[in-house]
Structure formats: structure tokens, C-alpha cells
């Protein structure tokens, strides 16, 4: 466990620099729209699927074009609210809704916005591999949230990032939650891991 933790700490530094470079090269360019297009082409969602997104901070891939497109297609969208040491709470979001500052300066919906439970989770990351491995910031919010939701219902988890953030292999421990898909500006790929029968509820393939 200690070895994996140390590997992750070292990789976070390297991965953060890779993401900064990728964002600086294309963050304000066509990358977010390419992510939107690849997601919509590759991942067929059931009509009433609730989408848990995120509001990008720093140099995270901007998923707002994707969220806007999913909302336009009739999906309910939501953004996360952080509670220290707990799974994320998701509150309903519409493109014109006002946001307020939350923990860590992350923009969140107002408290009057309804709490919902996503069927599909868009997950930011620092690094990934195509077996579904992910390195985040180290606080474990998504690693708590994914199993918490899956204890209640099926969940499709989709990592979102730049192609430059890919690693050959992400070190994992027993608490790490693997992603079902990864979508970057270069394309969308289903994780190379065991298939879950409930994926058929969300995918057209």
C-alpha cells in the first residue's frame, strides 16, 4: 500500500505538468468540443439518464460543451457538492443556473437546487490508463462516490481528460475505482476490463 501511495504521489506531479501543457496547447481551442463529439458518438445513453458532471477548475478538461449538449437532448444534469471526507452530493443544474462558491472554491449549484443521484458520472482526472485506472488529486472523493452510488443503482463512470494524460499503467490499490470509459479529444474508449451486464442499460452496443 505504501509503495502504491508513493508511486501515486510521484505520478501526480508529472501528470499535473502534462495536463498543464495539454491545456495550454488546446484548452481554449477545439478539445472540449472534440470531447463532446466523441462522447455523443460513442456512448448511447438511455433517455432519462441523469448526468453527474463537474465544473472545471484550473486546467481540467472543460465538459461544459458536453453538459450543454446532453441537457439539450433532454437529460437532467447535476454538479457535485463537496463534503469533507464524504461521497459527493449532486445537485440539479441547468445551463442558465447561477452558481455559488463551495469548498475549495469550486462553483456549485445553490442549496435550493434538488439533490439527485447520477446514472452517468463524468470524472475529472490527472492520469488514466485504458484499463480504467485513474489518478485523481488524492482526496478520494470519486473513489467514495462511485461505490456509494453503485450500492443503490447501476452507474456508468466516464473519465474525461486530455490524451496526453494517458499512462501505460496506473498504480492501483484496493480502494481505487476503475472507470468504464475514458473520453479525450482524441477519442472515446471503453475500458479494457471485465464487462458488467448492466452496461447494456446505458450503451447502444
Q: Which of 1, 15, 4 is nearest to 136 (CA)?
A: 15
Domain that holds residue 124: 2-201
Question: Can you tell me the mean pLDDT for 12-37?
Answer: 88
Terminal Cα distance for the chain, rounded: 37
Q: What is the dihedral of CA 164, 165, 166, 170, to 10 degrees?
A: 160
Residue 203 has pLDDT above 50, yes or no: no
Q: Write the DSSP string, 151-177.
A: TTS--EEEEE--GGGB-S-----TTPP
pLDDT of residue 68: 98
More confident residue, 106 or 75: 75
Please write down the HEC assignment for all residues of 75-100: CCEEEEECCCCCCCEEEEECCCCCEE
Q: pLDDT grade, residue 2 (50/70/90)?
A: low
> Could you tell me which residues come within 8 angstroms of residue 8 by beta carbon, excluding any fewer than 6 positions away?
135, 138, 171
pLDDT of residue 204: 42
Question: Cell numbers 506531479 correspond to what residue?
Answer: 13
More confident residue, 82 or 26: 82
Q: What is the CATH number of the domain that holds 170?
A: 3.40.50.10420
More confident residue, 175 or 49: 49
- Per DSSP bridges, beta strands 181-184 and 107-109 are unpaired
Query: How many domains, in total, are found in the chain?
Result: 1
pLDDT of residue 200: 43
Residue 159 has pLDDT above 60, yes or no: yes
pLDDT of residue 123: 98
Amino acid at each position: 500500500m505504501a509503495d502504491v501511495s508513493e508511486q501515486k504521489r510521484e505520478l501526480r506531479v508529472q501528470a499535473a505538468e502534462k495536463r498543464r501543457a495539454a491545456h495550454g496547447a488546446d484548452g481554449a481551442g477545439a478539445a472540449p468540443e472534440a470531447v463532446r463529439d466523441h462522447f455523443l458518438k460513442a456512448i448511447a445513453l438511455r433517455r432519462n439518464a441523469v448526468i453527474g458532471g463537474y465544473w472545471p477548475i484550473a486546467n481540467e478538461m472543460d465538459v461544459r460543451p458536453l453538459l450543454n449538449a446532453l441537457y439539450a437532448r433532454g437529460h437532467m444534469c447535476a454538479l457535485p457538492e463537496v463534503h469533507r471526507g464524504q461521497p459527493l452530493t449532486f445537485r440539479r443544474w441547468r445551463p442558465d443556473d447561477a452558481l455559488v462558491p463551495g469548498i475549495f472554491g469550486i462553483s456549485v449549484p445553490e442549496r435550493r437546487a434538488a439533490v439527485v443521484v447520477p446514472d452517468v458520472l463524468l470524472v475529472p482526472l490527472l492520469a488514466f490508463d485504458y484499463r480504467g485506472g485513474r489518478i485523481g488529486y488524492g482526496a478520494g472523493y470519486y473513489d467514495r462516490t462511485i461505490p456509494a452510488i453503485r450500492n443503490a443503482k447501476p452507474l456508468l463512470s466516464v473519465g474525461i481528460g486530455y490524451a496526453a494524460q494517458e499512462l501505460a499503467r496506473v498504480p492501483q490499490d484496493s480502494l481505487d475505482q476503475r472507470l468504464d470509459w475514458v473520453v479525450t479529444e482524441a477519442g472515446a474508449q471503453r475500458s479494457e476490463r471485465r464487462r458488467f451486464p448492466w452496461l447494456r442499460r446505458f450503451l447502444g452496443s
